[in-house]
Chain A
Amino acid sequence: MKEIKTKIIERIKSHFQDAVERDYDYNRLDFSVKKETIPSILFYLKDEMNFKHLSHITCVDWLEEKEFEVVFILWSYTDRLQVYVRTRIDRDHPVLDNIDMIWRQANTYERELKEMYGINFTGLEAPEEFLLEDWEGPPPMRRDFDTREYAARTYYTRPGREDAQDVRETIIKRTGEELPDFAKKYKR
């Protein structure tokens, strides 16, 4: 495993000068690259290094640093090794190259990231809507999207239920039990 990892790191470093590697004590390697390098490094890993299987594409929102981190996870069936390729993109203008010509299924992941984080993949051919329907708000998976506030603004209690009773209070009245301490803060 050690030799394979060293070989991969050497070859990647010689081809992609901006790649910063990180090794783990299990079968995993990490490469951080600039966003311009993404299509070429992924294509290189797939075609030359036998990382044929695209496991996952995901995005982490680092709100404090004003950046998105997009992570591509590849798996090599021959070397039995995971490679993470990660890049940071500007949160205000999130643009990344589309890679669905390398792996077709990447299209689905990109559609999700586009909708949930607002990342624009250049040249992504996809129908407008994926999971959300008639959505006009900001991309909902961003950290600054407040679900509670959105729900309070959008949904309301059905009228005619103002006299609805608290189940706990009804039970207490009927049985004379005391409300446990932890439940007191939820009391209406």
Chain B
Amino acid sequence: MREKATTLYFGPQHPGITGNMMVRLKVEGDTIVKATAEVGYLHRAFEKLMEERNWLQSFTLLCRFCVPEPDPVEESYARAVEMLEGREVPERAKYIRVMVLELARIGAFLFWYGAQASSLGLHTVGQWSIGDRNYVLDLFEALTGARIYHMYIWPGGVRRDFPEGFEEQVIKTMDYLEKRLNDYDDLLFESAIFQKRAKGIGIINKEKAIEWGVVGPPLRGCGIRHDMRIDDPYEVYDKLDFIVPTGENGDIWSRAQVRRQEIRQSIRIVRQVIDKIPKGEYYNKIPNPQKWTLPKGDAYAHTEAARGEVGFFVASDGVSTHPRRAHERGAAYVHAITLLEDLLVGANIADVSEIMFSLGTCPPEVER
């Protein structure tokens, strides 16, 4: 019998792919029968380079692990180092860290709005949301001096305190974004195209979701309420009041609804931080990094990023000033490979990029 399946290469050069990776598809007509995720286009050997640097020098690499949302990686690394050393972080620094993480989450979700909508040809959403994300980046610029790669959270606390008038600037931006979110609801969630194409597509099996290692909005989209911010509260999340929204069906629509509600919760958290932040030190000074050795052992810290659980494993030999091993656990490591390969079987070719964006895949995080 004649072979009916055709091989299609989706990426690495493709507007619908989330970054430098490829999905090799076997298609019969319009339906995918087999998908294989191929990575290796972006390997930068960050973890090898980190072994050649001292504990502080790695921060120039850390923010590049996942470009749209670099802060959770910095935070989990800094916290793993603190766990290993047993270093205390001042209360004010913890509040500032939470605010930075939540601003990064808002930025990442706004980025996702654009990407998810563009995968369906709704390009207006992206024009708006990337523009609005710039206001969040303005806040980062005022606070850290950089828009994308902040290198702001570091072991012992944060790099600097709030600049003058920063609180008002944050409140102003949050007010603006909150109003603006209604426009996105009208533009994206009311759109008949999005509703028709998102409902019932890319369904994650609820019973298997945890075993498959699904985390973040894709897990909560199945109706399972797990979030590291409430399961294993780090920094000061246990002192803040927020809801973790969940979906029902585990499809693209549910995941989108989870993200839509999470932005509002993040704005709520940022407001609470501004209200509750105590005065005091923001940095517990570390020794000279050139001579700074950590006790022998290892530690793993996990953070809830916009795409799910992001963690950092660090190991020290107790003698050297460099890490013996630094290894990142990215949410995309599971989402972009085993889960994606599974979800794509039976899907349409046109749905590939839509499914990828809804999982929040981030190829730089896979390859590092």
Mark A residues whose CB is within 8 Å of B: 26-27, 52-56, 58-62, 71, 73, 75, 77, 80, 82, 84, 103-105, 107-109, 127, 129-133, 140-141, 143, 147
Contacts and interface: CB of A to CB of B under 8 A. Distances in A.
B43 A132 contact: yes
A77 B210 contact: yes
Contacts of A75: 232, 302
A53 B300 contact: no
Contact of A55 (B298, B311, B315, B339): B311
B168 interface: no
Given A105-B334, A131-B40, A147-B48, A27 B232 contact: yes
A42 to B, nearest CB: 13
A148 to B, nearest CB: 8
A77 B228 CA distance: 9
B315 A60 contact: yes
A58 B313 contact: yes
Contacts of B325: 58-61
B333 interface: yes
Given A58-B325, A108-B333, 10 more contacts: A27-B232, A55-B302, A59-B325, A71-B298, A80-B231, A104-B211, A104-B338, A131-B39, A140-B45, A141-B47
B226 interface: yes
Contacts of B40: 129-133
Interface of B: 36, 39-40, 43, 45, 47-49, 51-52, 83, 210-213, 226, 231-232, 298, 300, 302, 309, 311, 313, 315, 317, 324-325, 327, 329, 333-334, 337-339, 367
A94 to B, nearest CB: 15
Given A80-B232, A104-B212, A56 B311 contact: yes
Q: Which of A53, A59, A107, A109 has the most CB of B within 10 A?
A: A53
Contacts of A104: 211-213, 338
Nearest to B43: A131
Given A60-B315, A77-B231, A108-B338, A52 B210 contact: yes
A53 B327 contact: no
Contact of A53 (B43, B210, B337, B338): B210
A77 B213 CA distance: 12
B232 A103 contact: no
B311 A105 contact: no
Contacts of B52: 147
Contacts of A129: 40
20 contacts: A26-B83, A52-B210, A52-B211, A55-B300, A56-B311, A56-B329, A61-B325, A73-B329, A77-B210, A77-B231, A104-B212, A105-B337, A109-B333, A129-B40, A130-B39, A131-B39, A131-B43, A131-B367, A140-B48, A141-B47
Contacts of A107: 338
Contact of A108 (B36, B231, B334): B334
What 6 A-B pairs are tightest by C-beta distance, nearest first?
Answer: A105-B213, A56-B329, A58-B327, A105-B334, A60-B325, A131-B43
A28 B165 CA distance: 41
Contacts of B329: 55-56, 73
A130 B42 CA distance: 12
Contacts of B48: 140-141, 147
B300 A56 contact: yes
Contacts of B317: 62
